[in-house]
Amino acid sequence: MDRSSIPSRNPLGVCWLAPPSHLSVNKLVVTDQDGDRVLLDQINVEMRAGESLGIVGASGSGKTLLGRSIVRHLPKSVCMKSGNIQLTPADSGDTLDCKRPPQVVMAPQIGASALPPLSCPLHLVRDVLQWTHTMPENDAVETAKDILMQVGLDRSTGVWRKRSHQLSGGMAARAALAAAIATAPSILVLDEPTNNLDTLTRKAVIELLLKINRNMGIGMILLSHDIRMVAQICSRVIVLEMGKVVATGEPVTLARSESKGYIKRLFGPLSDKVHVSKDVEKQESE
């Protein structure tokens, strides 16, 4: 899967793919509407174009709120008090000459519940393309077919025209990701993307996310408490606790650190794996 394998221009010759972009969040403060309670406190995030970044923490740590802040879609009950969020196109040397501005898109869920109940994958992706890019219907249909093929939904199975309740968990996840890709994001924010999926489907979704990130140049921000999943996809993580950044670094490095308390509990599943790997390495060297 790569950007060149998906038609990048509509009949008018305008590129609909957004360019890979850098994200910078500087001293972000989010409070409730009255300003009495600070929900996100002095958050700083720097993300390179095409990077995969994990934002992890326990429930209530502020992961989803930070994600919604980045896409500028905050609940009415809260407000951005101060700070700034900037998205800057990278100088990638891309020959596509993209005219679309960079954008961040959030996909809160990528299962069947994220899909319209009466829509099929082909019509869903077609509608997204038409709505976001004013693409003529025939071109939107052909582009939708290409995107569905890229996420592993084969036309021969008849899945393109199945309603959401007829899709398996894996098929629904792929259809939702196809719809997200159709919005042409520079960065895709995913909230608990493997939640409530069985082991095989979870593995397939992780592999698909890796392909999208590595081959299409779409940056990814994963919001999750599942540190093992994040470690498989993300090169770097930011740890939130009660609305504050308490650590940042590579997942395995944080798991190997001597941190105690909150970070140790959070990275426990991964640190166990790291310790086993270190024991195996030691035995092989003896």
Q: Tell me what pLDDT residue 115 has.
A: 76
Q: Tell me what pLDDT residue 13 has.
A: 37
What is the edge-to-edge ordering of all strands in the sheet holding 21-32?
Answer: 38-47, 21-32, 78-89
Rg of the chain over Cα atoms, rounded to whole angstroms, equals: 20
Q: Tell me what pLDDT residue 271 has.
A: 59
pLDDT tens sequence for the chain (286 residues): 444 444 443 333 335 566 778 899 999 999 988 888 999 999 999 999 888 999 998 888 889 999 999 988 888 889 899 999 988 887 654 434 444 556 788 876 666 666 777 788 888 889 888 888 777 888 888 888 888 888 888 777 788 888 877 877 778 888 888 888 888 888 889 988 887 777 888 888 888 888 888 877 788 999 988 888 888 899 899 999 999 998 888 888 887 776 668 877 887 766 555 443 333 334 334 4
Is beta strand 52-56 parallel, antiparallel or unpaired with respect to 219-224? parallel
Q: Tell me what pLDDT residue 35 has.
A: 81
CATH of domain 3-249: 3.40.50.300
Q: Tell me what pLDDT residue 278 has.
A: 37
Helix spans in the chain (H): 63-70, 121-133, 137-150, 169-182, 199-216, 227-233, 251-256, 262-266, 268-285
Q: Is the pTM of this model over 0.85?
A: no
Could you give the dihedral angle defined by the CA atoms of residues 230, 5, 107 and 29, in that order, rounded to the nearest 10 degrees? 70
For residue 196 the two structure tokens come to: 């409530």
Q: Tell me what pLDDT residue 111 has.
A: 63
Q: What distance, in Å, lies between the first and last C-alpha atoms of the chain?
A: 42
Q: Tell me what pLDDT residue 54 has.
A: 93
Return the domain boundaries, the chain. Answer: 3-249
